[in-house]
Amino acid sequence: MSKIRQIIRTSYCRYYSAQQSKKKLPIISCKRPEFNHFEGQTYSKFEGIKLASHGWLHDKSKGDYFIIYGNANKKEQKEVYKKSFEEIGVENELIEVMSNQGISLPTEIQAKAIPAILKGFNTLITAETGCGKTLAYLLPIFQHICMWKQHVSEDFNSPLAVVITPSRELASQIGEVAQNIAQELNLNVTTLIGGKTKQKMINPPIEYCDMLVTTLGAFSKLVTTGIYKINNVHHVVLDEADTLLDDSFLGKLENLLKKFAIHHKVDVQVIPNGCQLTLASATMPYELPEAVNSFVDPESLKTVVTSSIHRLLPHVPQKFLRIGKAQKPGELLKLVQADVNLKRPVMIFSNKTATCDFVSMFLNENNIECININGQMPVPLKLGKFEQFRSGKVNVLSCTDIASRGLDTTNTEHVINYDFPLYTADYIHRCGRTGRIGSPQNCSVTNFIAWPREIQLVKKIEESVRKNSELPSVNANIRRIIDNRIAKGVDRALVRGIK
């Protein structure tokens, strides 16, 4: 009889385990299960939406948490789109270059953006971080350059295309990507960053250049002094355009772009007459600043977006942990020690340079090798430290928002927001350092929530996920954001730009 009971019990356990495995993960999983949120769940208009973070302003809420899983129940979306490079108009020569780099099919944003740029449209590309925006504009521009180069008289320091970025780090990274493609096409790419602009003005560089990748400050100075010529420029790209269009850059950008003859649409079938503009970013204000009208007709911009824009990463679990200020170092140490044991590269974000330095010192004092980068560091030191992290020599990086935009961090498996960002756009960019194309599986984000203002933003984020709507207030009131950042001592180098 006992054997029969044992068989029945074993069978029941297997059946129960099978049923449990079939259960779907909730979209939002909470410490208090009554607040879990499942796919397709709706809320009564009269009762309102019950939030797990609703009572987090009370001290007794410390230790509470919820995790947003997004579309964890769905099969992981393929990194490629339905169309091939050939179908969207990319020439065989470039297809072969992509194949040599292990890329056989375009991503969604590439499949949507490349045809628009190839046809000569001014294009606004807005897509989630890490989805291939850089290649979305580099490939059609290189195709145009190959077509135009034989018809345009070559001149020193006279590029056919210019990619403008807000920071040196991003310019260096894009320049590296562009160079890898250009060398197989027998084209010349030059990367120009600030820091030695006066030396270049005294002893100007003399070189043939098909594409120039540069920071706004350095390029503006060298164009004004006539060292770089713009008469042959037929493509201008603003990468991280939302940053370049805020008040800290906009005046200088406006003065520079007025010098280019940006057309409503460029005829790319002949020697081009005029210049084509492309803007690319992971977040974009819903209304462009009025100053944009001085160099481009906003109605000429063909908008290209993905379905995930201004939403949380759908395939990266994000944990929101209500915690006290005094608890943050101890909780951080536990998380990072676990990452180190598993050899998981982790990025730790702070809002201020002083906190970034503290995190690094605290972890090193506890025998965890950690490097830090912030906007106040000299550029060579900053680039060297980031390369240590990217190459895997050091797996723990403490940083400010200077490392949150544009940089390729495909090795990062865990992002920790030691300080929760004060603005939604910053949160999107920070989370985008993981879960990118080429990133490992099982990436994650952990957020420490300690202050009332942080709680207010978390409540809005949680509500948007439960309502299946876009995140709130992305890039709203940019001027106020910048003024508040400077007043609070947040990384000034990011606000002013690394010129």
Report the range of poorest mean pLDDT among 262-271, 360-369, 415-424: 262-271
CB 387 within 8 A of CB 455: no
CB 247 within 8 A of CB 485: no
User: CA-to-CA distance for 160 and 149, rounded, in angstroms?
Assistant: 8
Check residue 481 and give its pLDDT. 41
Check residue 253 and give its pLDDT. 93
| DSSP-H helix ranges across 258-302 | none
Q: Which residue from 114, 89, 90 is spatially nearest to 304, judged by alpha carbons?
A: 114
At 316-326, the pLDDT tens digits run: 899 999 999 99
Q: For the sheet with 161-165, list strands across it.
A: 189-192, 211-215, 161-165, 235-239, 276-281, 122-126, 301-305
Q: Rounded to a whole number, what is the distance in angstroms from the first to the last CA of the chain? A: 82
CB 237 within 8 A of CB 280: yes
Cβ burial of 89 (10 Å; 0-12, 13-18, 19+) is middle
The structural domains of the chain, with segments of one domain joined by +, span: 24-70+312-496, 92-305
User: CA-to-CA distance for 474 and 295, rounded, in angstroms?
Assistant: 24
Report the range of poorest mean pLDDT among 81-85, 147-151, 305-309, 351-355: 305-309
* Multiple choice CATH, 24-70+312-496, 3.50.50.60, 3.30.70.380, 3.20.190.10, 3.40.50.300: 3.40.50.300
Instruction: Give the SS3 label for residue 201.
Output: helix
Does 312 have pLDDT greater than 70? yes
Read off the pLDDT band of 292 (50, 70, 90): confident
Does 57 have pLDDT greater than 60? yes
User: CA-to-CA distance for 498 and 376, rounded, in angstroms?
Assistant: 10
What single-letter amino acid sits at 41?
Q
CB 58 within 8 A of CB 34: no
Average pLDDT over the chain reads: 84
Average pLDDT over residues 285-296: 82
Average pLDDT over residues 292-310: 84
What H or E segment, with its residue span, contains residue 142? helix 133-148
Q: Hey, what long-range contacts does 37-45 have (CB within 8 A, 24 or more apart)?
A: 37/465, 37/466, 39/73, 41/466, 43/466
Check residue 470 and give its pLDDT. 79
Cα within 13 Å of Cα(290), Cβ side: 0
Which residues, in sequence order, are bridge partners of residue 68? 28, 318
Q: What angle do CA 331, 337, 340 make, to 5 degrees?
A: 145
Nearby residues of 251 by Cβ (< 8 Å), 6 or more positions away = 291
What's the token pair of residue 299? 């109605």
Fold type of domain 92-305: Rossmann fold (3.40.50)
Instruction: Give the SS3 label for residue 89.
Output: coil
Read off the pLDDT band of 497 (50, 70, 90): very low
User: CA-to-CA distance for 66 and 28, rounded, in angstroms?
Assistant: 7
Does 13 have pLDDT greater than 70? no
Which has more pLDDT, 38 or 311? Answer: 38
Check residue 106 and give its pLDDT. 93
At 238-279, the pLDDT tens digits run: 998 988 988 888 899 999 999 998 998 888 777 778 899 999
Say whether 92-305 and 24-70+312-496 share the same fold: yes
Does 136 have pLDDT greater than 90? yes
Check residue 159 and give its pLDDT. 94
Highest mean pLDDT among 103-107, 166-170, 192-196: 103-107
